[in-house]
Structure 1
């Protein structure tokens, strides 16, 4: 299980990125999502707040879409 967060600030394309707790790109201003066994569940949780959410290309690569 890993702790996941979502960035409050959207990327230029409108995505709010989901990050694991130890990601080098974890933003300062973020929302705690919870503890999940995979990024797909974390992104699903993030979409409850930010409908346009996406996995980080570094720490949640399986959930990153272009």
Structure 2
């Protein structure tokens, strides 16, 4: 996994956490859900990159 990918995924995860928190604080369920979606997307990207890395090592 490249450093750029790791940074991008972490940024997306943190942004999702911020959106989720903002949504909870303001009672905006749409923003809260969007934050959850961003975090899930980041996790899936990380998992995909980890699979790629596993095959590169063999």
TM-score by length of 1: 0.24
Whichever structure has more strand as a proportion of its residues is 1
Higher Rg: 2
Higher relative contact order (CA 8 A, sep 6+): 2
Whichever structure has more helix as a proportion of its residues is 2
